[in-house]
Structure 1
């Protein structure tokens, strides 16, 4: 089964409109520290980096929809080969 890397980059450009959270709440949430979007802990690659995650294929559609809907276009989805 394919997996996908999801990045919020550059995260500091997040305008906190929460469209990604409303479209794909399984993957995105708002940080209580800076009120910007972040990857939920379950999918983070590194517990200290809230902007990068790996998601399974069944979440591909919602992360791609969130990326498309993001008004500042900072969500990037890449298929992981192998």
Structure 2
């Protein structure tokens, strides 16, 4: 790993004060590390249950940077899973008549 430019996320290690922390570091610690890309996968993601979507398009109107509409299926889909403006996503979730949008 020497000379590697990849970022690593420190696993559930304790710092000098005994607090459990996860920190992005230039080098992995001597124990409990994994690539930063694995850490990103644990972040919240926006999803639409395609079977439940009724195709009203409310989410697309409210958050066009996050949702788009598939004219063939007449359903919305997510174009930016990592989300964006949390207030916009919350408004889209609240306005969805099918309650098929999650942000977990």
- Note whether the superposition's TM-score is higher than 0.5: yes
Q: What is aligned with 2:45?
A: 5
- Aligned equivalents of 1:26, 1:4: Cα separation in 2: 17
RMSD over aligned Cα atoms: 1.4
Question: Per residue, is there more helix in 1 or in 2?
Answer: 1
Which residue of structure 2 aligns with residue 63 of structure 1?
89
Structure 2: state its 5+ residue gaps.
1-42
Matches within 5 A, 1:18-29: 18-29=57-68
The structure 1 residue matched to 2:99, chosen from 62, 73, 76, is: 73
TM-score (norm 1): 0.67
**Deviations 1:19-47 (CA, angstroms, capped at 9, x unpaired):** 1011111101101331210012xx2xxxx
TM norm structure 2: 0.54
Larger relative strand fraction: 1
Deviating above 6 A after TM superposition, structure 1's stretches of 4 or more consecutive aligned residues are none
Rg larger in structure: 2
Query: Residue in 1 aligned with 2:82?
Result: 54
Corresponding position of 1:47: none
